[in-house]
Amino acid sequence: MLLHIKNMVCDRCIMVVRQQLQHLDLQVSEISLGTAFIAPEPSENKLTEIAASLKVLGFELIDKDKDKLIESIRNAIIEIIHHSDLAEHVTFSKLLTGRLHKNYNYLSRLFSESEDLTIEKFIIQQKVEKVKELLQYGELNLYEIALKMGYSSSAHLSNQFKSVTGLSPREFKTIKSNGRKPLDKI
């Protein structure tokens, strides 16, 4: 059976969900951001138990098709931004359309209605969080980060970063508290 799970945003989430499902005597044949294939087929009572045990850990089972699609949009964007290299020009509309096999206008409208946020603004928020992480590591300069994140220039990155955080990347690097948000809170 395929479970759709909300708030899975990183490899640690996958590990925790796998452990929790195995703790409930379920076999996990495949697991990725937002989904897990389990066996045996759970009863309604077992599904309720699964939902409750995941909720304690900050995850939710999703059962409505639209909610599943919205979570798929979120997971695809997070995976692309946080787990791959954006150095090559990425067109998110084409990527989402290809992955989800739905018209981008439909995906965009559905996401905006549900999240009170456009896909584009969600992408910007995710990119800014990734830039914060890269700035904290201190391994790349701003130009290299801009290239890695698919920005046309470091000035474009700086302007977008400042519009979201209220700080320039340089100001952000000098503050003590990191100001980063967990991915599931964005």
Asked if residues 114 and 70 have their Cβ atoms less than 8 Å apart, the reply is yes
The 10s digit of each residue's pLDDT in 122-154 is: 999 999 999 999 998 889 999 999 988 988 899
Q: Residue 88 — pLDDT band, cuts 50, 70, 90?
A: low
Instruction: Look at the chain and report how many structural domains it folds into.
Output: 2
The CATH number of the domain holding residue 11 is 3.30.70.100
Q: What torsion, rounded to 10 degrees, do the Cα atoms 133, 35, 96, 163 define? A: -30
Domain with 30 in it = 2-63
Q: Are 76 and 69 in contact (CB under 8 A)?
A: no
Q: Model confidence over 24-59: pLDDT tens digits?
A: 999 999 999 889 999 999 888 898 899 999 999 999
Go through 103-126 and write b for each residue having 16 or more CB atoms within 10 A of its CB, e for each that does not.
ebeebbebbeeeeeeebeebbbbb
Phi–psi pair at 26, nearest 5 degrees: -110, 145
Residues 52 and 122 in one domain: no
Is residue 37 located within the same domain as residue 86?
no
- Does the predicted TM-score (pTM) go above 0.75? no
Residues near 174 by beta carbon (within 8 Å), at least 6 away in sequence: none
**Amino acid 184: pLDDT:** 62
Q: What is the DSSP string of 114-166?
A: HHSS-HHHHHHHHHHHHHHHHHHHTSS-HHHHHHHTT-S-HHHHHHHHHHHHS
131 and 180 belong to one structural domain: yes
Same domain, 51 and 78: no
Q: Are 17 and 8 in contact (CB under 8 A)?
A: yes
